[in-house]
Amino acid sequence: GPSGGCIPEEYLDTPIDYDSLTSLGTIMGSGGMIVMDEDTCMVDVARFFLQFTADESCGKCTPCREGTYEMLQILDKIVNGEGTMEDIDMLEKISRVVSKTALCGLGQTAPNPVLSTLRYFRDEYEAHVKEKRCPAKSCKALIAYRIDPAKCTGCTACARACPTGAITGEIKKVHTIDQEKCIKCGSCYEVCRFDAVEKVDAFVVVK
């Protein structure tokens, strides 16, 4: 759940018991488990879970009320490609303070997704900050869509699915995406049957 931690594949055979999970930085909770693949951005997952706990905070204690808000602001910066290495350090410091000083269980466990992803997936945080790149190609601000001319058959499926008219091209001819009009909704990516639509890093020059 949102107060649990995220652990990598290498611990897949870990016994599901209180002590084993606690040692890895997560909790038993209600016993629920979510399995994610390489297409899931762990930075965005931490942000998603923290959004829930921040919304649920009653606001009684300062660490939870202010701490979760500040953590969320930093995570927003990182997934938008605006974060710095100092932000990562500050995120970790705030997370530890909140977990030790919040008054109730919600505040004490709210930083778990952040601390566990920093522990096991720090390379993803650093890629967002240093390279302005999302390894999972999930964060909208850091990706772009383009059409591979070698694979495009001109079937027009992508153009028909695009809600902003960003894709143009004649039938049976290579289509192109206008990056100014593209809202990165992924509709073209989902409907293409020929794998011609690609997700690429936003800093790649898209022609």
**pLDDT tops 80 at residue 205:** no
pTM, 2 dp: 0.87
Looking at the structure, tell me whether residues 13 and 89 fall in a common domain.
Answer: yes
Domain with 71 in it: what CATH number? 1.20.1440.230
**pLDDT tops 90 at residue 24:** no
**pLDDT tops 50 at residue 207:** no
The answer as to whether 2 is a domain residue is no
pLDDT score for 206: 46
Contacts for 99-102: CB closer than 8 Å, 24+ residues apart: 101/61, 101/63, 102/61, 102/63, 102/64, 102/67
Query: How many angstroms separate the CA atoms of 118 and 121, rounded?
Result: 6
* HSE-CB of 154 using CA atoms within 13 angstroms: 6
As for how many domains the chain has, the answer is 2
User: Residue by residue, what is the 3-state secondary structure of the chain?
Assistant: CCCCCCCCHHHCCCCCCHHHHHHCCCCCCCCCCCCCCCCCCHHHHHHHHHHHHHHHCCCCCHHHHHHHHHHHHHHHHHHCCCCCHHHHHHHHHHHHHHHHHCCCHHHHHCCHHHHHHHHHCHHHHHHHHHCCCCCCCCCHHHEEEEECCCCCCCCCHHHHHCCCCCEECCCCCCCEECCCCCCCCCHHHHHCCCCCEEEEECCCCCC
131 compared with 34, residue with greater pLDDT: 131
- 89: pLDDT confidence band, cut at 50, 70 and 90? very high
Domain assignment of residue 76, given as a range? 9-130
The mean per-residue pLDDT over the stretch 114-127 comes to 97
The answer as to whether 183 is a domain residue is yes
pLDDT score for 33: 84
Average per-residue pLDDT in the chain? 93
pLDDT score for 204: 63
pLDDT digits (tens, 9 = 90+) for 138-160: 999 999 999 999 999 999 999 99
Residue with tokens 């390894």: 135
CB 152 within 8 A of CB 194: yes
Domain with 159 in it: what CATH number? 3.30.70.20
Looking at the structure, tell me whether residues 25 and 91 fall in a common domain.
Answer: yes
pLDDT score for 166: 97
Looking at the structure, tell me whether residues 187 and 124 fall in a common domain.
Answer: no
Looking at the structure, tell me whether residues 98 and 178 fall in a common domain.
Answer: no
